[in-house]
Structure formats: C-alpha cells, structure tokens
Structure 1
C-alpha cells in the first residue's frame, strides 16, 4: 500500500496546496468515522502480529506508534486512526479560545528532504467546542486507543495569565483525556517558548499538577497522566532545568520534540519562518532523547517524536530511550498505513526476528 501511495496518490496530492490537501484528508477520515463496523475490522486487521500492548502511565497502548499532535487539531477523526495502525492519538493543539491561526499560506512541503515547514499558530475551534465534539464519542465505553489532548496558550493571552488559562482548558477537557500534553514549545505562537524557562515552567506545571490531583480526589478517580512537550532547539543546560522542574512537580513524562527553528540542512531556499519537521530533525530529536534518558537514568518516560520516516529512524528513537514514538510528517510522505508498517517493524525488531 505504501508503494502505491508514494508512486500514484502522493504525486496527485502534492500538486496542490499542502493545507488544502490536509483538510481534504481530514474530511475523508471524518466521513469514514460513520462506518463503525468497518473501522473495527480494520483495527483488528492492522494490529501488529505477535505484538503485546505497552503499559505506560497506567494506560495500555496497543502498539508503540502514535499520531502526533497537529494532524487532528479539532478532534474530527481521532476515532478512525486505530484502523490505520496507530496505537494512540494526540489531538490538538487545543487552546481555551477558538482562533484562526496565522495567515495562509502557512504549511509548506519540502519533498527532497521529506520535510514540512509549518507556521500554523494553533488554529482550532477552542476548548469548549472540542469538548462538546469529544463528548459524542470519547465518553463511550469503547475508546479503541488512548487519546491524548495537547493544550496550549491562546495567542492574545499574556504570559503572566498563561497558567490560569491552561488550567481552565484542562478543566474543560479533562473528562475526555487519557493523558494531557502541555505544549510550551511551538515556535509559531509569540513568546510561548518562554514558558520553558524554569520560573514560568515550575508555576505552570506545578499548578496544573495540583489541579489534576484535586480533581482526582474529588471524583475518586486516578489522576490523569501529564506530559510536557519540549522544543528541539534547547541547550543541554536548558534541558537540565526542565528535567529538574518536571521531576520536582511530579509530571509523568516528556514528549520530545516539537518542530525545529534551526535549519540543520540546506533546504534549497526554503528559509521561510516556521517549525521544521520530518527527516532533517531525526538526529536532534534522538540526541535530546538520549541525553534525557541518561540524565534521568531511564526513570522518566519519554515519547519520541521528530523525524520518523522509516523503521530505522523509529528504532533510533527507541535506542535513544523513547518508550513510545509519534509521527505525522512521515505519514504525509509514506501514506496512511505508515503507522501499521512501523508498529509491525518495531515488534519484529524487539523480538529480534529481523
């Protein structure tokens, strides 16, 4: 299926605007969501053979490969992604207020490097609208695969008001999340990355963790696992500071990494603003994951994301210390069943069958 996509379907999709192609794909997947029995059959068929669920954060992941935030921003098609072999889905980034994002065009392909540059700016329908959408399906007994909700700061909100806004967004969406990802690392919202600084981060993560614990106590439930998503452009000293805060406040893990501002390769004139994703960032994401894994002696779970374009690069993130991986740009270049192929390859690899 991958070869058919790359040789026949992808050239057609790549003729037009990148964001328009993405919107059409979301529309098609949303329509597919109406056919529940077919989705369940596909989920069974596309499950890795001989694979075992991965237990992490108190959750059970059918396989090691998740869909990264940024694809299903508005929770329109998350419920069908298990049919294509994904073991979890992270929706969003969701902000407290609906916002259109940055001016178009804001998404570019770089096919010769299997990369994307985006400056989306968190376009989404807002927390309340997305909570209503999730309530129709995410509250059902059959969840299929775990759902992560990635939350961020609304563009107009000043940094000193970021913490109460994140808390409000958390409270609106908490009934529907298997875990939360706290996005403080997108390069496309002004000043957002300052929230990675120790003082801002300690207040934000500490208050979110406190709110999470209080909610769990009141409802008699387990607290929701919480992770923070960091940038690939950090120095090791900055990473040390983040690790100290994350462990001090009792967060459950880290997602590494977001898109990159730096351009590590010659992108053929593609020097436009925005975050780089795809094949060119695999070395940096692996380096950061390896550093954090060693610094924490493997005690802090890491979800690796950034540069997964084949089984080798996925394995590279695991060898660096990741417990799960996520992908998005790789699917753009390899096709909708790319997650299935990677998940199966990782099962064979872990069993030393290849």
Structure 2
C-alpha cells in the first residue's frame, strides 16, 4: 500500500514539504498518549533475540533512526513507537540557523536515494534542550548528534561544539560529534586527526563536567568519502582517546554508479547522497573499522540499510547497531517492524542467541 502511495502521490510532492507533513502526522498519531502505546504494541518487534546492550545502554533492538529526520527533538517518542530501538536527533548546532536556501532535499527514486544540502537547519542547542526537557520518562534510547554552527569560525569551532555538549549532554544516552556533513563549508576538513583529536578531547571534558556522576558515551561520525588511510587514522585516534565508538558513514558527494540520468542529477546541484548507493561502501568501512578498533569499541553503521539482510550483514561485519534514514523514507511507518522481523529470522536461522553474539562473526 505504501509503495503505491509513494509511487503515485508522494514522489510528486517536493521532498521537504512532504517530510514536514509526514512527520507532523507521525507526531500526532504515534506520539499521542492514547494511540501511541497501542501502536507501539503492534509495530514493535518483540523477539528477545533483538535486545542488545551497547556501551552500558539497553536497546530493545539494534535498528535506529539516523540523525537528520528529527533535527529538533520534536518527536522521538512517536518514532520509538514505530519500532525504532533508538533515535538519534540532530544534527544540532550551538546557534540556531535556517540552513541552506530551498529547495535542498531531493529524491532519486530509481536509486532509492536522496540528495540533500540541508545545511544543519535546526533551532539551536538551547531550544532543543527545552524540547528534551519535556520528554516523558518512557522514551526511546536517545543519541544526540552535534555539529558546528555555520557562523562559527575555525578558531571558534571547539567552543561551539562545547556549548552544544554542555546544553544537551544531560539528555543523551550517547553523543555523536558530526564532522562529516558535506553541506557546512569547511566541516569535513575537521576529519583530519590533527584537528579532530583536540576537538573530541574538549567535548569529552565538557560532557564530564556537564553530566556529573554519569559517563556519556562519545562517538565521532565520519564519511564514506574518507580515503582508507584516513579511516585507519580515525580508528587509531579513537582507540588512543578511548572513544566509545564511530558512526559510519555520512552521505557521499560522489555521483558515481547512479541509475538516475546524470543530467537530472547534475540539475539538482550540490549535496550529499544517501540511501542504497552507499550500501557497499558503508559495508566496507565497517569491516575496516572493526579490524582496527577491536571488539571493545562500538560501530554504528548507517548508509544503505533497507532490509533485515542489510542490517544482518552490517552486524556480522562488525557493527553493534545500525541506523537508517532513507530506508525509512522509502519504506513507510511499518518499515522498522519489517526490518526487525527479518533480522530476527536471520539471527535465529544462523544460530545466534543475540545481536551481540553475531557482531563481527564474518
């Protein structure tokens, strides 16, 4: 039913406006105190094999919603009721910002992909903190993804990230430092270890002081566009600093291998590609990272997750958790349950007693 609706109606409406309408509907229905719990009982895959514990946090299943969908923490409870095991909000910046000019979000249906140049549009760390403060105790596991304000100069970048960590850390089950979006000028330059290491040290120090008595797991998000030696360098740095893990990967600026005619893609302009075209590259990065990071540190794999088989392949390659955004856009509200059910079948079929037991087994 959703496939028909997408094919004949939704794809004909500009992507960003329909996202706003759809998210509003999700919040209104799945987020209501009356319907939400009932919906959760239907859409949450209950198989115990899906439960997992990662960096000291209990996850009902390993499938999360990636950053970018709920930038301002307006609907994490509703999204959890759809069956996601965790929700990563953001990217949040210290200062509120409108993002890049519209239009800035486009579909590539032939590729099951999106192109976006949103530019970290969000209401800022203080406003997002105010939203988080109103969440009920019963909420999904929350990751908070923080990025650099566009107006912050390179010399101000560390303090900019520290501000967000200070404002938001107490609400987070884990924090992700995003240095890999292609849509903020100069941001990807911060993936250089010489720049990234002092930044991560500063954010961790801020989290320690902002959240006394609790250690907030800290991860860094990288792009699939990094060269192999740079992925190795980030992995080595993560071990050296004692980071809790790596989120891999962000969108790609590459346009290679797309089915959509090149003239149509070029007409959309700049931006990062997400979705199915990232599947193979993201899978390869997981394998590289696991070999370098060892079993102690977490990999959250994102990019091209559309099916339970995709999730299973990432987990057996070394990811403890997986995320999707574009798969959810193309799959609809019942998609998380479908993926979790498929994943549970594969775990049982291959005699894994838990998600954790399957991590890194290939």
Return the TM-score normalized by structure 1.
0.94
After superposition, residues 247-266 of structure 1 pair within 5 angstroms as 247-266=239-258
1:35 deviation in Å? 1.9
After superposition, residues 170-189 of structure 1 pair within 5 angstroms as 170-189=165-184
In structure 1, what is the Cα distance between the partners aligned to 2:31 and 2:44? 21
Whether 2:210 is the aligned partner of 1:212: answer no
Q: Which residue of 2 aligns with 1:75?
A: 73
After superposition, the Cα gap between the structure-2 partners of 1:9 and 1:205, relative to the gap in structure 1 and judged at 3 Å, is same
In structure 2, what is the Cα distance between the partners aligned to 1:293 and 1:248? 15
In structure 1, what is the Cα distance between the partners aligned to 2:6 and 2:48? 30
After superposition, residues 96-175 of structure 1 pair within 5 angstroms as 96-137=94-135, 140-143=136-139, 145-175=140-170
Identify which of 23, 32, 37 aligns with 1:35: 32
Identify which of 276, 286, 299 aligns with 1:279: 276
1:121-180 Cα offsets, whole Å, 9 max, x none, are: 00001111111111111xx3322x101111000001112211111011111112211111
After superposition, residues 321-340 of structure 1 pair within 5 angstroms as 321-340=318-337
After superposition, the Cα gap between the structure-2 partners of 1:176 and 1:10, relative to the gap in structure 1 and judged at 3 Å, is farther
Native 8 Å contact 2:224 2:281 kept in 1: yes
Native 8 Å contact 1:264 1:281 kept in 2: no
1:34 deviation in Å? 5.3
Q: What's the secondary structure of 1:185's corresponding residue?
A: coil
1:37 deviation in Å? 3.3
Native 8 Å contact 1:95 1:124 kept in 2: yes
In structure 2, what is the Cα distance between the partners aligned to 1:227 and 1:296? 13
Native 8 Å contact 2:90 2:145 kept in 1: yes
In structure 1, what is the Cα distance between the partners aligned to 2:324 and 2:128? 22
Identify which of 238, 241, 262 aligns with 1:246: 238
Q: Which residue of 1 aligns with 2:354?
A: none
Q: What's the secondary structure of 2:306's corresponding residue?
A: coil
Q: What's the secondary structure of 1:257's corresponding residue?
A: strand
The structure 1 segments of at least 4 consecutive aligned residues displaced by more than 3 Å after TM superposition are none
Instruction: Indicate the RMSD between aligned Cα atoms, in angstroms.
Output: 1.5
Whether 2:37 is the aligned partner of 1:44: answer no
Unaligned runs of 5+ in 2: 352-362
Native 8 Å contact 1:306 1:327 kept in 2: yes
1:203-223 Cα offsets, whole Å, 9 max, x none, are: 00111112222344xx3x221
Unaligned runs of 5+ in 1: none
In structure 2, what is the Cα distance between the partners aligned to 1:147 and 1:93? 13
1:180-204 Cα offsets, whole Å, 9 max, x none, are: 1110000000000111101111100
Whether 2:295 is the aligned partner of 1:302: answer no
In structure 2, what is the Cα distance between the partners aligned to 1:23 and 1:264? 30
Q: Which residue of 1 aligns with 2:358?
A: none
Native 8 Å contact 1:209 1:249 kept in 2: no
Q: Which residue of 1 aligns with 2:357?
A: none
After the TM superposition, which of the residue ranges 99-108 and 313-322 deviates more from structure 2? 313-322
Return the TM-score normalized by structure 2.
0.92
In structure 1, what is the Cα distance between the partners aligned to 2:15 and 2:138? 33
Identify which of 56, 59, 74 aligns with 1:58: 56
In structure 1, what is the Cα distance between the partners aligned to 2:282 and 2:41? 32
